[in-house]
Chain A
Amino acid sequence: MKLSPLVQELIDNLKHLPGVGPKSAQRMAFHLLERNRIGATKLANSMAKAMEHIGHCRTCRTFTELEQCDICASPKRQASRLLCIVESPSDILAIEQTGEFIGRYFVLMGHLSPIDGIGPEELGLDQLQNLLSSDEFDEMILATNPTVEGEATAHFIADLAGSYDVSVTRIAHGVPVGGELGYVDGNTLSHAFSGRKKL
């Protein structure tokens, strides 16, 4: 059976979502058409609005429809003079949930990966240098992922920051809270040992 062009178009476009193949797209399309037309209209509207208005924050590069995101604009966070470098906007959410960190962020939107064609320019490091030269920060915390690429990115940024008056720190790696040593992989465990703290 051939579907009418509009239905087919809807299914094809749903496939743009991550992890959605032809079968899931078809299921979603029929579900929305059969059961939830109001919800689907809302989704379509907010999708259209988001795509039109959301851009990047001019200081930290996270997604926002404002010129500067709320975190960057907050006077309290500006006063803390801390800057945290993360790979993606979802990392900001994870850190914010802890409530530990009161400072500003800079989002790289990826990590250095030469083979994928991601170099210093793609990570907005020029923008980061501008930010550091503004003398608004005392400390820069590198919170890139603990992978080889994330580590390379951290070192690279630390080298860049050498010419600015800012202390550079790296988040610790180690054993998860509530975890058992026997289940932790050797790599993490050796990091935990090399980064041990004095009590």
Chain B
Amino acid sequence: MNKDRELALQTVYLLHSRPYRENSLLLNLLSKDLGHISAVAYAGSSRKNSKRAQLQPFSTLQVQLKGKGSLLTLTQIEKAQLPLPLSRQFLYSGFYLNELCVRLLPQNISCETLFAHYHHALTQLEQQISIEPILRSFEFALLEELGLGIDFSVLDEDSQVQESSPDYWYYLPEQGLVSADYERSINKFDRRHLLAIRDGNLQDPDVLLTCKSLMRQVFKPLLGSRPLQSRKLFAYSK
């Protein structure tokens, strides 16, 4: 019998944990090398040696994992940084990022760039700067990771071909951006806004609004019928 494979020390963020059996936790982790993974951790029965205190979201953990297959075992926490002191909307935004990852990211596929984006988003949230651009750029990174990045090149091509390029575009799932060649009153986007989004200029409030509704439309079919719970937190707190 070959023993369970010990993996090298992993840098991870805890996305979600729930109780499993009496003294264990079932974890969703975002790892730098391994991507979105599930792991079981024995959290200990006594309070003294409990891992529970360290297994909190929004802190970088260095952990030892072992096992093969899709469910790993977390054997040791080597180093745990203090959780980022997020509060209020910034904390709810953190929950939003976690919920998106848990719901959409396939497991066991390495996602180094997304990890960097996640880390960057959290540090920005900690600085308590404007939330919307942070969330939007993370959403773009997530879409790229899922291979569903939006193709903005159609905007360019079109402008070269015809002088009177359409000013409005809309988004169709699995097709991407399509020019609005017939009158549609809802869900259409201004081309200038889309170009600004492509270039990452998210300062203008109108552009941000367009970006938000674009993202809503892109994520809607991906999330299915179950709505995101973390959005409710924002709705309540307004």
Residues of A with Cβ closer than 8 Å to B?
18-19, 112, 114-121, 125, 147-148, 151-152, 155-156, 159-160, 183, 185-188, 190
Contact = CB atoms under 8 A, between A and B. Distances in A.
Interface in B215-238: 228-230, 232-233, 236-237
B123 to A, nearest CB: 16
Given A119-B233, A120-B232, A186-B80, A159 B53 contact: no
Contacts of B88: 155, 159
A147 B54 contact: no
A152 B95 contact: yes
A18 B230 CA distance: 29
Nearest to B15: A115
Contacts of A186: 80, 82
A188 B56 CA distance: 12
A116 B233 contact: no
Contacts of B203: none
A120 B80 contact: no
21 contacts: A112-B95, A114-B95, A114-B99, A114-B229, A114-B230, A115-B95, A115-B98, A115-B102, A119-B229, A119-B236, A120-B232, A120-B233, A125-B236, A147-B56, A148-B58, A151-B87, A155-B87, A160-B236, A186-B82, A187-B82, A188-B53
Nearest to B237: A159
Question: How big is the B interface, by class?
Answer: 20 to 34
B237 A19 contact: no
Nearest to A116: B18
Nearest to B16: A115
Nearest to A194: B85
B111 interface: no
Given A147-B56, A185-B53, A114 B91 contact: no
Contact of B233 (A156, A183, A187, A190): A156
